[in-house]
A and B are shown apart, each in its own frame.
Chain A
Amino acid sequence: MVLTGVTVFASFIELHNWNIVVALTIATIKGTLVVLFFMHLFYSSKLTKVTVITAIFFLFLLLALSMTDYLTRSWLTNPMH
């Protein structure tokens, strides 16, 4: 566990470019490990797993649907910002 944490964390220091995708991917991997094993989700009941997936899904909805507004504003002919 500790090794995982330290190794992954070490790779951060080299992250000197603007690639947020890589950063978030690593964060998600670390996060998934924490959730699955530290929080025993791997061993938990189906109900608990569904609960967690629901939470992630709804967070995703909040982010995605809000972005439908922000990403498409510049599509209009008069610039908003």
Chain B
Amino acid sequence: MDQQRETSTFGMWLFLLTEIMFFGGLFCAYLVYRATYYQAFVEGSQAMNIWLGATNTAVLICSSLTMALGVRCAQTDNRKLMVVLLIATMLFGLAFLGIKAIEYHEHWTNHQFPGPNFSFPQAEAAGVNPQNVQIYFSLYWAMTGLHALHMVIGVGLVLWITIAAARGMYSADYYAPVENVGLYWHFVDLVWIYLFPLLYLISKKHGG
């Protein structure tokens, strides 16, 4: 069983490797455009709510903690606590998505979604081409959107193993799915740990 668990974990790590490269393409685009249009990125990021973003970062780190502890419970056959921790993880995940939804709503109503309805009046005042700011927002929506999609999938996966755990399907001998979902969850957290400073914390020269 141990060999099987190691094998399936190896498979999950390989899958996460593909996810690194998947998000990596977006990070590459981000790198290129930030280098080219730095001022536009500064302006665009002013529209981000740092407090919401920071809260979300904390939420995700906490969810990673509960997830890791949950895996530990699976390893030590502590079923009740494991289910509690997994439910906590899910709640944190949903909280993240809720906060994100609030942010998205605000950006949307402020016409900060790229396309024909895009408008960013602050751009002219700062002497920056608003079209370039649109690129910042394109990357913002694409990167956080993809991340949010992975979060939704993650919540679904945690729900699945919570139900299975409640039914007593995991034990100290067989907990590979819990561990692997945990790996996935931590990875999604990791992506956000990078997204937050890159999108939200570019510069606050103009004082918030």
A54 lies within 8 A of B58 (CB):
no
Given the known interface contacts A27-B193, A59-B24, the answer about A38 and B202 at a Cβ–Cβ threshold of 8 Å is no
Chain A: which residue is nearest B51 at the CB level?
Answer: A13
Chain A residues with CB under 8 A of B79: none
In this complex, how many residues of chain B approach chain A with their Cβ under 8 Å: the count is 45
Chain B residues with CB under 8 A of A16: 203-204
B58 lies within 8 A of A9 (CB):
yes
Chain B residues with CB under 8 A of A67: 31-32, 35
Q: Tell me the chain B residues, 40-78 only, with Cβ under 8 Å from chain A.
A: 42, 50, 54, 57-58, 61-62, 64-65, 67-68
A5 lies within 8 A of B194 (CB):
no
Given the known interface contacts A1-B65, A70-B36, the answer about A9 and B54 at a Cβ–Cβ threshold of 8 Å is yes
Given the known interface contacts A15-B201, A38-B64, the answer about A51 and B10 at a Cβ–Cβ threshold of 8 Å is yes
**Distance from B89 Cβ to chain A, minimum over Cβ atoms (Å):** 12
Determine if B20 is an interface residue (Cβ-Cβ < 8 Å).
Answer: yes
What is the CA–CA distance of A13 and B55 in the complex, to the nearest angstrom?
A: 11
Task: Label chain A's interface by main secondary structure.
Answer: helix
In this complex, how many residues of chain A approach chain B with their Cβ under 8 Å: the count is 42
Q: Tell me the chain A residues, 7-39 only, with Cβ under 8 Å from chain B.
A: 9, 12-13, 15-18, 20, 23-24, 26-27, 30-31, 34-35, 37-39
Chain B residues with CB under 8 A of A76: none
**Distance from A7 Cβ to chain B, minimum over Cβ atoms (Å):** 11
Determine if A77 is an interface residue (Cβ-Cβ < 8 Å).
Answer: no
A31 lies within 8 A of B194 (CB):
yes
Chain B residues with CB under 8 A of A56: 20
**Distance from B189 Cβ to chain A, minimum over Cβ atoms (Å):** 6
What is the CA–CA distance of A27 and B201 in the complex, to the nearest angstrom?
A: 12
Chain B residues with CB under 8 A of A37: 68
What is the CA–CA distance of A45 and B25 in the complex, to the nearest angstrom?
A: 28
**Distance from A63 Cβ to chain B, minimum over Cβ atoms (Å):** 6
Chain A residues with CB under 8 A of B186: 34-35, 38-39
What is the CA–CA distance of A15 and B65 in the complex, to the nearest angstrom?
A: 25
Determine if B9 is an interface residue (Cβ-Cβ < 8 Å).
Answer: yes
Determine if B126 is an interface residue (Cβ-Cβ < 8 Å).
Answer: no
In addition to A1-B68, A55-B21, A81-B36, 12 A-B residue pairs with Cβ atoms within 8 Å of each other are A1-B65, A5-B61, A6-B58, A9-B54, A9-B58, A12-B196, A27-B196, A30-B193, A34-B190, A37-B68, A51-B10, A54-B17
Hey, which bits of chain B sit against chain A, CB under 8 A?
Answer: 6, 9-10, 13-14, 16-17, 20-21, 24-25, 27-28, 31-32, 35-36, 42, 50, 54, 57-58, 61-62, 64-65, 67-68, 179, 182-183, 186-187, 189-190, 193-194, 196-198, 201-205
